[in-house]
Amino acid sequence: MTGTHTTIGAAAAHFGLGTHVLRHWEDRGLLTPDRDTAGRRRYRDSDLDTIAMIVLGKQAGLSLDELAVLFTCAPDRATRVKVLREHHTRLTARLARTRAALDAVAHVLDCDAEDFRTCPHFRDRLAAVRRADTIAEW
């Protein structure tokens, strides 16, 4: 797929997106496709690269605001690094919570207790969560 004559429909379909998504990203300043004489959007290869970068960023959990900073508002490396470090910290915390939840489920699956709710290990973890108001202690 080349960007010189790519319509919004073709670009959206290629990435599995709705055309309204590309219009929204354009409204947010993340995309700036060319227009033909009739005013229809024409996506270049560089626009398709930008769409791919947005898709990757969204898959990594970045918000459109963060992507806007990375793409358009922060030409300096220090600002980009700051945004990505903050996101890395959030992802690390989320990963810790997910690992803790996975460990809890694995324990319940392997537990010899007839009813996992009576398992002393599970009860200890339950008490820890109640004290901390978070599953992160698991």
Is the CA virtual torsion 107, 111, 117, 120 positive or negative?
negative
Give yes or no for a contact between 95 and 136, defined as CB atoms under 8 angstroms apart: no
Task: State the pLDDT at residue 76.
Answer: 85
Task: State the pLDDT at residue 123.
Answer: 86
First to last CA, the chain: 48
Identity of the residue numbered 79? T
Spatial CA neighbour of 135 closest among 109, 107, 110, 100 = 100
Specify the 3-state DSSP secondary structure of 110.
helix
Task: State the pLDDT at residue 113.
Answer: 87
Which CB contacts under 8 angstroms, 24+ apart, belong to 85-93? 87/60, 87/61, 87/62, 90/61, 91/60, 91/61, 93/136
Task: State the pLDDT at residue 6.
Answer: 93
Q: Which residues of the chain have pLDDT under 50?
A: 3, 137-138
Task: State the pLDDT at residue 21.
Answer: 98
- The pTM of the whole model exceeds 0.75: no
